[in-house]
Amino acid sequence: MSAPATSHIDVHRGGDRMKTRISWLDSKHSFSFGQHYDPENTHHGLLLVNNDDIVLPGQGFETHPHRDMEIVTWVLEGSLVHQDSLGHSGIIYPGLAQRMSAGTGILHSEKNDSWRLDGSRPEHDQPVHFVQMWVLPDEPGVDPGYQQLEIDDQLAAGGLVTVASGLPRYRDRTAIAIHSSHSALHVARLAGARGSGTGFNLPEAPYLHVFVARGEVDMEGTGPLYEGDAVRLTRSGGQRITAHAPAEVLVWEMHARLGG
């Protein structure tokens, strides 16, 4: 897996994403997914899926299979119930990092059921909004697995928080581990009080994928980025991202690429 020879910055606007809309799901795809296929837009680095999903109350994805993929789910609003064939069951909500390693094969479902943590069920009328991301593991055939950890306190500090990583450099400060020694996901939840200009600098890497999950930011050398916008960078990094109003930004740092 080789590094790119030259630097490049490519802005992808949220409105240009491929879309799947059915009665209970509004899904926007950054890369080719399902029935949507564009041979020029299949991945960036090791990131193959960046789906921005809204699921209506009481609905969701029924039990379905996955293999040989590291799947990270990040909830922005509402809550998502996860159940899988290994017996894991949990509620994913904002500030909770979650990873599922599909490995040799796993079945799971994801539904907007929103049970309370004490087991009671509230009046429920809120959609769940989440981003699901898939990265390629180092090798096929690992044991399937699941991991989650709440990191709300770290996010409150406002900087770039390492959420999921297989990169050795983040071993001591990552929230959850993935079977990809060339990849890391960072998240910044920026308060962005008017005039404060809170922000962070991008890491340096052969491949970066910046996704504005909520709000609006300015990226040095690129300009304004709005909710749903993404930037794909090769052989770059160090740019300052600044928010003047509340925003949430997801950054994949990758040191290899698919098929490279």
In-domain check, residue 65:
yes
In-domain check, residue 249:
yes
Mean pLDDT of the 99-122 span? 76
pLDDT score at 5: 63
pLDDT score at 1: 47
Number of neighbouring beta carbons within 10 Å of residue 110 = 23
Q: How many domains does the chain have?
A: 1
In-domain check, residue 3:
no
| CB 236 within 8 Å of CB 77 | no
In-domain check, residue 230:
yes
Task: State yes or no: pLDDT of 192 exceeds 90.
Answer: no
pTM, rounded to two decimals: 0.92
The response to whether 66 counts as a known ligand-binding position is yes
The response to whether 227 counts as a known ligand-binding position is no
Q: What is the CATH number of the domain that holds 142?
A: 2.60.120.10
The response to whether 70 counts as a known ligand-binding position is no
In 3-state terms the chain splits into helix, strand, coil percentages (rounded to 5) of 5, 50, 45
The response to whether 244 counts as a known ligand-binding position is no
Supply the DSSP symbol for 16: G
In-domain check, residue 106:
yes
User: 57 pLDDT band (50/70/90 cuts)?
Assistant: confident
In-domain check, residue 259:
no
Query: Range of 19's domain?
Result: 8-254
pLDDT score at 109: 87
In-domain check, residue 221:
yes
In-domain check, residue 87:
yes
